[in-house]
A and B are shown apart, each in its own frame.
Chain A
Amino acid sequence: MSISSGRGYISYMYQLEVADLSKSFGPRRIFEKVSFSLNTGQGLAITGPNGSGKSTMIHILTGLGRASSGVVRYTHDSNMLSFEEYRNRMSVVTPYHEFYDAMTALENLDFYTRLAGLEVTGQEMMESLRTFGLGERGRDRVAAYSSGMKQRLKYALALLRRPEILLLDEPTAYLDQSGKKGIFDFLDSVKSRALIIIATNEKEEAGFADHVCQLGG
Chain B
Amino acid sequence: MIWKWFIFAAMAAVIILAFVLPSPMDPRLSLGPVDAYRIFYFHVPAAWVAALSFMVGMVQSARYLKTKDMDFDRRAVAANRLGMAFSAMALVTGSIFAKMTWGEFWNWSEIREVSIFILLLIYGGYFALRSALSDDEVRATFSAVMTIIFTVAALFLIFVLPRIYPAFSQHPSDTIVDNEGKMSLSPMVALVFGLSMAAFTALYYWLYEITVRGSRYFDKNRLES
Are A and B direct contacts in the complex by CB distance below 8 Å? yes
Q: In the complex, how many angstroms separate the beta carbon of A65 from the nearest chain B beta carbon?
A: 10
Residues of B within 8 A of A66 (CB): 137
A26 close to chain B: CB less than 8 A: yes
Q: Is the CB of B223 within 8 A of A27?
A: yes
B136 close to chain A: CB less than 8 A: yes
Interface size class of B (residues with CB under 8 A): under 10
Would you list which residues of chain B between 192 and 225 have a CB under 8 Å from chain A? 222-225
Q: Is the CB of B222 within 8 A of A27?
A: yes
Contact with A along B126-137 (1 / 0, CB 8 A): 000000000111
Q: Is the CB of A26 within 8 A of B137?
A: no
Residues of A within 8 A of B224 (CB): 27
Q: Which residue of B lies closest to A68 (CB)?
A: B137
The size of the chain A interface, using a CB distance under 8 A, is: 5
Residues of B within 8 A of A27 (CB): 222-225
Residues of B within 8 A of A26 (CB): 136, 222-223
Q: Which residue of B lies closest to A25 (CB)?
A: B135
- Give Cα A26 to B137, complex, Å: 10
- Give Cα A26 to B223, complex, Å: 7
- Give Cα A27 to B225, complex, Å: 7
Would you list which residues of chain B between 123 and 175 have a CB under 8 Å from chain A? 135-137
Residues of A within 8 A of B223 (CB): 24, 26-27
Contact with B along A22-44 (1 / 0, CB 8 A): 00111100000000000000000
Q: Which residue of A lies closest to B138 (CB)?
A: A66
Q: In the complex, how many angstroms separate the beta carbon of A196 from the nearest chain B beta carbon?
A: 29
Q: In the complex, how many angstroms separate the beta carbon of B127 from the nearest chain A beta carbon?
A: 19
Q: In the complex, how many angstroms separate the beta carbon of A83 from the nearest chain B beta carbon?
A: 15
Contact with B along A88-118 (1 / 0, CB 8 A): 0000000000000000000000000000000
| Complex A-B, nearest 10 residue pairs according to Cβ-Cβ distance, in ascending order | A27-B222, A27-B223, A27-B225, A66-B137, A26-B136, A26-B222, A24-B223, A25-B135, A26-B223, A27-B224
Interface residues, chain A, CB within 8 Å of chain B? Answer: 24-27, 66
Q: 10 A-B Cβ contacts within 8 A? A: A24-B223, A25-B135, A26-B136, A26-B222, A26-B223, A27-B222, A27-B223, A27-B224, A27-B225, A66-B137
Interface residues, chain B, CB within 8 Å of chain A? Answer: 135-137, 222-225
- Give 7 A-B pairs besides A26-B136, A26-B223, A27-B224 with Cβ atoms closer than 8 angstroms: A24-B223, A25-B135, A26-B222, A27-B222, A27-B223, A27-B225, A66-B137
